[in-house]
Structure 1
Amino acid sequence: MTSRSFGTSNASGFQRSDASRPSLATSGNAVKNRQLTHLHAQLAQLSANLADTDNLVRMTSVQAESMRGLGSWHGGLFMAASKVLGEEAINREQGGQQR
């Protein structure tokens, strides 16, 4: 297995590091700064999306409570309608038996 050398070698075979070449070091810093800027932008977008999600979850919670109230109200209406219709059916049966 051969090992890789990340430095460059000159004609005599000695290695020199890329840090000794200012153009490559500057280029590396520019890439790093660009990546950090991009990461910062992504973090800001993530933070905004999390704030939106938090707002939507709170709104959903309020709406769920309202839906619960509507369900209870409709349940009461169905029970009242059932009672009225049941009483009408009983009254019809009693009226039919009396004739």
Structure 2
Amino acid sequence: MASRSGNTDRTLVMGGGGGTTRPSMAPQQSGGVVKARQLTHLHSQLAQLSANLANTENLLRMTSVQAEAMRGLGSWHGGMFMAASKVLGEESVKEQPPQHGGSQR
């Protein structure tokens, strides 16, 4: 039997045998082990999803606060533009009558 064992070792080391040892290992695992591994993987994915959802919720809260601030800034800038338009508009109106009065024929 020693010579037969040596021959088998040589076959595995040299890569002969067509890889018949690996496929036979897969059916040896019981369904419970595979199921436990899949459940563990699912649990880790659910934990990651939960963390990502919490992060998304925080980002949405921040976005809401920033949107309110942007709305306030928009109102402020709109008021500034209207005030500048009124001031500049009055100056241009005061300058325009002499130009129109001189161009009449």
Taking only the aligned residue pairs, the percentage that are identical comes to 70
Following superposition, which runs of at least 4 residues in structure 1 exceed 3 angstroms of deviation?
94-99
Whether 2:62 is the aligned partner of 1:88: answer no
Tell me the residue number matched to 1:27: 30
- Pairing 1:34-53 to 2, within 5 Å after superposition: 34-53=37-56
TM-score by length of 2: 0.65
SS in 2 for 1:41: helix
Higher relative contact order (CA closer than 8 Å, sequence separation 6+)? 1
Unmatched tracts of structure 1, length 5 or more: 1-23
- Which structure: greater helix fraction? 2
Q: Distance in 2 between matches of 1:59 and 1:97?
A: 55
Aligned twin of 2:66: 63
Paired residues in the alignment total: 76
More strand by percentage: 1
RMSD: 2.2
Question: Within 2, Cα distance between the matches of 1:83 and 1:77?
Answer: 10
Structure 2 spans left out of the alignment, 5+ residues: 1-26
Structure of larger gyration radius: 2
TM-score normalised to structure 1 length: 0.68
